[in-house]
Amino acid sequence: MIMDRYPPIADHGLVGDLQTAAMVSAQGVVDWFAAPRFDSPSVFAALLDHDRGGYFLFAPEERGVTCRQLYYPDTAVLVTRFMSPDGVGEIFDFMPPDRTGTPTDRHVLVRGVRAVRGTVRFVLECRPRFDYGRASHELELRDDGAAVFRAPGVTAYLQSTFPLRAKATGSGAAGLRDVRSELVLNTGEVAAAVFTVCGPDGEPPEPPTPDGVVGMLWQTVEFWQRWVRRSRYRGRWPGMVNRSAITLKLLTYAPTGAPVAAATMGLPEQVGGERNWDYRYTWVRDGSLSVRALLDLGFAEEAAQFTHWLGERLGDRLRGRKEIVGEPLQIMYRVDGDPELTEEILPHLEGYRGSRPVRAGNAAAEQLQLDIYGEALYALAEGREVSMRASYHGWKNLARTLDWLADSWDRPDEGVWETRGGRNDFTFSRVMCWTAFDRGLRLASDYSRPADTARWTAARDTILEQVMERAWNAKEQALTQTYGSDVLDASLLLIPRLGFLAPQTESWLSTLDAMDRTLVSDSLVYRYDPAASPDGLRGSEGTFSLCSFLYVDALARAGRLRPARYAFEKMQTYANHVGLFAEEIGPSGEQLGNFPQAFTHLSLIMAATTLDQALDEARAQYQDD
C-alpha cells in the first residue's frame, strides 16, 4: 500500500485511553499520537510533517486496496478493513481505557490484524519521532523479540506476535532507526503489535499473545458499551448522539475531568494558511457548555467532575488573599489546571500540506475574554444538582468573583473567537457577563447563600440595557458583533438558550433573520465575516460546525422546526465516515481545523436534544388539536 503523505483530515478515526489519544487514518496509519497526556510532545506526528513527524503503519502490502473504516458499535474500538482480489483483512485499533483516574506515564496502543477471507500480506513500519521530531532516539532489538526505542525522558516498547527487524532511516536522519516487518495471514489467522510508551525507567510489558490481545479487545468493548448504556437519550438520532458522547469522553482527561478542545494541534483552518492552533487544552468556555450536554444525556458523574475542576480554578488565584489581583480566571488551562501554555513555533515542521507556522502551546491563554465568567456560572447553575456540593469557602470564591466582575465587566476584550486584532466592545462578552450575574443570583436564592444581590442585580440590569441600546443596529435590525458596528456574529446564537432574550421575541427573530441573510450558507454558518471585521490574521476560514449546530438550536427554540430539522439532517452529511467532525467545513465540503473538535460534538448534542423536545411538543400539540 502506498501511504498518502497527507490524507484528508476527515479520513481518520480516534482511539484513546482517557488520558491521551491517537489518530488512525483510513489507510491504517497512526499519524498523530502524543504521550503521556493530550498536551504532551508527540511520538507520531506525520500529519504535521510526513518526513520528520513519525508514523506507525500497519496495512496490506498490496497496492490498489480498498479501505473502509468503522467503529465497533457504541465503542472507541476502531476497525479498518482492507479489500483486495486476494483477500480481505482488517485491523482493530484501541487503547485500554484508564480505570483508575490516576495520572500515568504508561500508555498502550494495541493494533491487532486478522485475515477475514483469503490471504493477506501485511507490512508494519514503526517510525517514532519523539518531541515533535526534535529528539533523537536509540533502537534496541531484544532477544525476546521486542523493539525498544529510547529517547530523552521516554522509552517506548514495540512488541508483536511476529518477528520484527530494524530498518535504517533515509538520508538526513542520521542516528535514527525504525522497525519494519512483513507477515502473511490466511483466513481466520490473527496477529498483533502492541506499542507501549512509558517513562525512561519503565518496565517492559508482558509479550503479547493473540488470545491476550483478543481478551483486551473485548474488555475495552465492554467498557465503552457499558458506559454508553448509561445514556438516557431516546431521541431521533441515537447513532450521532452516542458517537458524540463517546468522542467527548475520549477527549476528557480522566484524572481531572477536564476536556480538551481537540486531540490535535496545528491542523489548518485554511490549507496553506497561518490559522493553525494548538487545541489540546481545556477552555473554560467549551468545558462549561459541556455540562448541560452531559446532564441531558444522564452523565452526571462527568458533569460533576468538571464542575469540581472549574471550582478549583475559581479558587486558584483567590486562596489566602483578601482581594483579587488580576483576572480570577484565564480562558484556558492545561488538563491538570496548570495555567502555563507558552506558545512556541516549531520551524522544523512543514505543517499539514504546507500550513505554517506549526504552533505548540497557545498564546490566547493570555487574552482577556470576559465571556468566560458567564460560561463558568452557567455551568455551575446548570449542574446545580452536582455542583452545589461545594464547601462554604467554594461559594465565597464564587461570590468574590462576581463582586469583582461587578466592577470589571465594562471593558473592551479580545472576544470569544480569540481574534488577534485588538480589543473591542464585543456584544457576546457583555451577554455572558449578564449570564454570570443572572446565574449567580439564581444560585444565591435557590441555596440561600450570602451574596451582595443588590449589586449583582444592578450590574445584570445595566448590562441588559447597555447591550440593547449600543449593540442594536437599526439598519440590520439585529444585535451585532461589537457596539456600533454592522457586523453579525454567530456566537450570539446562544442568546435564546441563555435567556438573555426570549426565543420568539421580535428583536431576537429579526437578529436570527439577519444572520440567515449574512452568515448562513445552505445551513452552514460562518462565525463572522473576517473581511468586514479584521481579526489580525491573514487568509479566510470555512464555516464553523459549532455555529451550524447552534443555528439548529436557535431555530428550534424559535419554533422554526422544518428548517431546523432540515439543517440538522444536512449537517450530519458533513460528518466523516465514522461520525466525527473537525472544527470547520471548507468550501468543497472538506473538514478543516483540529480534529475531532469537542465543541462541535457537544453542540451537536445540544441541538439534538433541543430539536427532539421541540418536535415532541409540536407532535403532542397536533394530537391534542
- Supply the pLDDT for residue 390: 59
Mean pLDDT of 214-221: 97
pTM for the whole thing? 0.96
* pLDDT higher than 50, residue 110: yes
Spatial contact of 410 and 349, defined as CB atoms under 8 Å apart: no
The CA distance from 462 to 215, in Å, is: 61
Give the Cα-Cα-Cα angle 224, 304, 38 (nearest 5 degrees).
Answer: 55
The CA distance from 496 to 564, in Å, is: 15
Per the DSSP assignment, residues forming a β-bridge with 426 are 482
For residue 172, what pLDDT band results from cuts at 50, 70 and 90?
very low
Choice among 115-124, 259-268, 306-315, 569-578 with the minimum mean pLDDT:
306-315
- Supply the pLDDT for residue 542: 87
- Supply the pLDDT for residue 388: 53
- How do strand 359-360 and strand 258-259 relate by DSSP bridges? unpaired
The pLDDT tens digits of the residues spanning 511-568 come to 999 999 999 999 999 999 877 656 556 656 789 999 999 999 999 999 999 999 999 9
User: By C-alpha distance, which of 596, 594, 593 is closest to 576?
Assistant: 596
- Supply the pLDDT for residue 176: 61
The CA distance from 602 to 396, in Å, is: 30
* pLDDT higher than 70, residue 170: no
Please list, in sequence order, all residues whose beta carbon lies within 8 angstroms of the beta carbon of residue 338, skipping any fewer than 6 positions away: none
Mean pLDDT of 61-67: 88
Task: Give me 406's grid cell.
Answer: 461587578
Average pLDDT, the chain: 93
Task: Give me 396's grid cell.
Answer: 465565597
- Supply the pLDDT for residue 533: 59
- DSSP per residue, 136-147: --EEEE-TTS-E
Radius of gyration of the chain (CA): 25
Over 472-491, what HEC string results? EECCCCEECCECCCCCCCHH
- Supply the pLDDT for residue 385: 65
In the chain the domains, ranked by start, together with CATH numbers, are: 12-228 (2.70.98), 238-624 (1.50.10.10)
User: By C-alpha distance, which of 160, 164, 169 is closest to 136?
Assistant: 169
250 Ramachandran zone, left/alpha/beta (phi>0; psi -120 to 50): alpha
Measured between its terminal Cα atoms, the distance across the chain in Å is 62
- Supply the pLDDT for residue 162: 96
Stretch (H or E) spanning 451? none
Stretch (H or E) spanning 429? helix 427-446
* pLDDT higher than 50, residue 290: yes
- Supply the pLDDT for residue 173: 47
C-alpha dist (Å) from residue 330 to 365, 380, 597 = 6, 17, 21
Spatial contact of 186 and 179, defined as CB atoms under 8 Å apart: no
> Quick one: 376 exposed, middle or buried, by C-beta within 10 A (0-12, 13-18, 19+)?
buried
Mean pLDDT of 322-333: 83
User: Which of 175-179, 242-246, 363-367, 417-421: highest mean pLDDT?
Assistant: 242-246
The CA distance from 133 to 47, in Å, is: 12
User: By C-alpha distance, which of 363, 289, 308, 303 is closest to 330?
Assistant: 363
Coil, helix or strand at residue 450: coil
Please list, in sequence order, all residues whose beta carbon lies within 8 angstroms of the beta carbon of residue 414, skipping any fewer than 6 positions away: 364, 367, 368, 369, 420, 422, 423
For residue 588, what pLDDT band results from cuts at 50, 70 and 90?
very high
Spatial contact of 10 and 591, defined as CB atoms under 8 Å apart: yes
The pLDDT tens digits of the residues spanning 181-199 come to 999 999 999 999 999 999 9
Rounded (10°) angle between helices 392-406 and 427-446? 140
- CA 404 from centre of chain: 31
- Supply the pLDDT for residue 623: 72
* pLDDT higher than 90, residue 83: yes
Q: What are the start-end ranges of the H helices in 558-597?
A: 561-572
- Supply the pLDDT for residue 610: 98
For residue 624, what pLDDT band results from cuts at 50, 70 and 90?
low
- Length in residues, the chain: 625
For the chain, how are helix, strand and coil distributed in percent, rounded to 5?
A: 35, 20, 45
Spatial contact of 504 and 513, defined as CB atoms under 8 Å apart: no
- Helices first, then strands: H and E counts in the chain: 15, 28
Spatial contact of 193 and 159, defined as CB atoms under 8 Å apart: yes
User: By C-alpha distance, which of 603, 600, 401 is closest to 497?
Assistant: 603
> Quick one: 362 exposed, middle or buried, by C-beta within 10 A (0-12, 13-18, 19+)?
buried
The pLDDT tens digits of the residues spanning 257-286 come to 999 999 999 999 999 999 899 999 999 999
> Quick one: 391 exposed, middle or buried, by C-beta within 10 A (0-12, 13-18, 19+)?
exposed
